[in-house]
């Protein structure tokens, strides 16, 4: 789940992408009217959950979803406030797997194809939805704020032409994971987006979804070193008690991470290692080019920072490896919020 921030006069909202995330958010005490329901393939049941809970907005992603909302309105008589997700035809400078704004995308109504205008016309004439605005999101881990500005300009012009009251410019601002990366600040992103909207003459209330840019640095993943295998002239492998089951990003996107030993955070990191997990395949790599102190030993705790956005949320039990706990720390006080799994948890749902 990510954060969705609106104007200074309104508290921020949280957006959820599935019925499961919606359920967890509600159980956690997030007010329904602070939730925005996303997703490219919302089922009838998920849409019904959102309508019955009274979510703040539903972001509609397809004509099939409009059909389902027609059916839901006929059953319940409720008319939810919606945004239409548009695809502005802009390819973000990021990994293909997390690029979402190009014409060839599973998300949204295409602007260049004319689908966006057809969807706007249909939604405006339908009794089943209250169309209050439009939304766009071109990808994740985007460093080129110019692309985000271009997308804002495209949908800003549409918002102006149709006199929409809301315009969500989405999110996707990247964060630095390794030392040589430099990411724009939220303020820089805001200036670029605002300038694009001003140039387009937008009068709608502009909202955004900072997501990763405010959540990623909030967490650090800790591992215990179990094996150190030095292959002279090749590399040194450091194997830890986790792997691609708790962080699949390096395998999925080739994502990089830094490494350090919490026992001596200021130590010189002169030893180059490849940090791997305990799964039964060679691709189970967490950090391909990591640096650690030369005195690293079996039993050390090894940390990879910046795992707050996509770490625990993407985890699995691949190879039946237990999922780690989640601990919140504040002012030196630790609080367990998700307990460590046990072997009994692995068979809990078996019949």
Q: Return the pLDDT at 2.
A: 33
Q: Return the pLDDT at 141.
A: 86
Answer yes or no: are the C-beta atoms of 120 and 84 closer than 8 Å. Answer: yes
Backbone torsions φ then ψ of 195, nearest 5 degrees = -60, -40
What SS3 class is residue 187?
Answer: helix
The CATH number, out of the four listed (2.30.29.30, 2.40.110.10, 2.40.37.10, 3.40.50.300), of the domain defined by the range 219-319: 2.40.37.10
Q: Return the pLDDT at 95.
A: 62
Q: Report which DSSP code applies to 321.
A: P
Answer yes or no: are the C-beta atoms of 200 and 157 closer than 8 Å. Answer: yes
Architecture of the domain defined by 2-216: Alpha-Beta Barrel (3.20)
Please report, rounded to a whole number, the percentage of residues in the chain having pLDDT higher than 70. 94
- pLDDT surpassing 70 at residue 8: no
CA angle centred on 232, ends 226 and 234, rounded to 5°: 90
CA atoms of 243 and 343, how far apart (whole Å): 18
Domain boundaries, the chain: 2-216, 219-319
Bigger pLDDT: 336 vs 95: 336
Tell me the mean pLDDT in the region 237-245: 97
CA atoms of 104 and 113, how far apart (whole Å): 11
* Confidence band for 238, pLDDT divided at 50, 70 and 90: very high
Bigger pLDDT: 9 vs 112: 112
Q: Return the pLDDT at 99.
A: 64
Bigger pLDDT: 121 vs 174: 121
Tell me the mean pLDDT in the region 170-199: 90
Q: Return the pLDDT at 9.
A: 35
Query: Which is nearest to 161 in space by CA: 124, 126, 106?
Result: 124
- pLDDT surpassing 70 at residue 77: yes
Q: Which residues have a catalytic role annotated?
A: 280
Give the contacts of 331 (CB within 8 A, at least 6 positions apart): none
- pLDDT surpassing 50 at residue 130: yes
- The model's pLDDT over 84-122, given as tens digits with 9 standing for 90+, comes to 999 988 877 666 666 676 888 899 999 999 999 999 999
Q: Return the pLDDT at 253.
A: 87
Domains 2-216 and 219-319 share a fold: no
Q: Return the pLDDT at 97.
A: 63
- The model's pLDDT over 294-324, given as tens digits with 9 standing for 90+, comes to 999 999 999 999 999 988 999 999 999 999 9
Q: Return the pLDDT at 171.
A: 87
Average of per-residue pLDDT values in the chain: 91
Q: Return the pLDDT at 206.
A: 92
Q: Return the pLDDT at 12.
A: 79
- pLDDT surpassing 50 at residue 4: no
Count other Cβ atoms within 10 Å, centred on residue 75: 11
């Amino acid at each position: 789940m990510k954060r969705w921030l609106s104007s200074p006069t309104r508290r921020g909202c949280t957006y959820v992408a599935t019925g499961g995330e919606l359920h967890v958010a509600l159980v956690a005490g997030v007010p329904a009217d602070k939730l925005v329901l996303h997703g490219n393939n919302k089922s009838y049941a998920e849409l019904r959950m959102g309508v019955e809970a009274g979510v703040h907005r539903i972001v509609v992603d397809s004509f099939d979803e409009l059909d389902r909302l027609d059916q839901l309105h006929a059953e319940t008589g409720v008319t939810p406030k919606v945004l239409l997700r548009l695809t502005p035809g802009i390819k973000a400078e990021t990994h293909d797997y997390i690029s979402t704004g190009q014409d060839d995308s599973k998300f949204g109504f295409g602007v260049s194809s004319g689908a966006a205008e057809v969807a706007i016309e249909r939604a405006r004439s339908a009794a089943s939805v209250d169309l209050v605005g439009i939304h766009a999101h071109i990808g994740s881990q985007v460093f080129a704020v110019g692309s985000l500005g271009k997308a804002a300009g495209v949908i800003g012009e549409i918002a102006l032409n149709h006199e929409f009251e809301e315009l969500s410019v989405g999110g996707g601002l990247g964060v630095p994971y390794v030392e040589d990366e430099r990411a724009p600040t939220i303020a820089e992103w805001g200036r670029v987006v605002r300038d694009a909207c001003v140039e387009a003459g937008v009068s709608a209330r502009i909202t955004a979804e900072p997501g990763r840019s405010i959540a990623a640095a909030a967490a650090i993943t800790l591992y215990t070193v179990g094996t150190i295998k030095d292959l002279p002239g090749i590399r040194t492998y450091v194997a830890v008690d986790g792997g691609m089951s708790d962080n699949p990003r390096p395998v999925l996107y080739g994502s990089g991470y830094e490494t350090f030993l919490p026992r001596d955070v200021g130590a010189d990191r002169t030893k180059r290692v490849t940090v791997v997990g305990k799964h039964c395949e060679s691709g189970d790599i967490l950090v391909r080019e990591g640096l650690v102190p030369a005195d690293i030993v079996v039993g050390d705790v090894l940390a990879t920072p910046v795992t707050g956005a996509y770490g625990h949320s993407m985890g699995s039990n691949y190879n039946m490896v237990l999922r780690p706990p989640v601990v919140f720390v504040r002012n030196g006080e630790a609080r367990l919020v998700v307990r460590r799994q046990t072997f009994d948890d692995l068979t809990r749902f078996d019949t």
